[in-house]
C-alpha cells in the first residue's frame, strides 16, 4: 500500500486506504464502495451523494484499478 502514501489529499488517501483494507479483509466491492462514499461525505458533508460516488469511483479506478501515479482531479482540499 505504498501508493496511498503518495496521495496528497487526506480525503482521497483515506478513501483509497479504506477501500483497499476493506477488500483485503473480505468485504465485497459494493460494500467497500458504499463505506468509502460515506467516509468521503464525513470529510465533505457539503458534497451530494452523486458527487461523492463519482469521486470515490474515480479514485478507486485511478489508484487501484489502473495503478496510476499521477494526480486526480478530485476535490480541492489538501
Number of structural domains (the chain) is 1
30 found inside a domain? yes
72 found inside a domain? no
The whole-model pTM stands at 0.85
Per-residue pLDDT of the chain (78 residues), as tens digits, is 444 456 768 889 999 999 999 999 999 999 999 999 999 999 899 999 999 999 999 999 999 999 987 778 777 776
At a CB cut-off of 8 Å and minimum separation 6, what does 36 contact?
15, 18, 19, 22, 56, 60
Cβ(31)–Cβ(40) under 8 Å? Answer: no
Which range of residues forms the domain containing residue 13? 2-65
Amino acid at each position: 500500500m505504498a501508493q496511498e502514501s503518495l496521495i496528497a489529499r487526506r480525503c482521497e488517501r483515506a478513501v483509497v486506504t479504506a477501500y483497499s483494507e476493506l477488500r483485503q479483509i473480505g468485504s465485497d466491492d459494493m460494500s467497500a464502495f458504499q463505506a468509502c462514499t460515506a467516509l468521503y461525505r464525513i470529510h465533505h458533508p457539503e458534497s451530494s451523494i452523486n458527487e461523492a460516488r463519482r469521486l470515490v469511483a474515480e479514485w478507486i479506478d485511478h489508484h487501484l484499478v489502473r495503478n496510476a501515479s499521477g494526480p486526480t482531479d478530485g476535490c480541492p482540499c489538501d
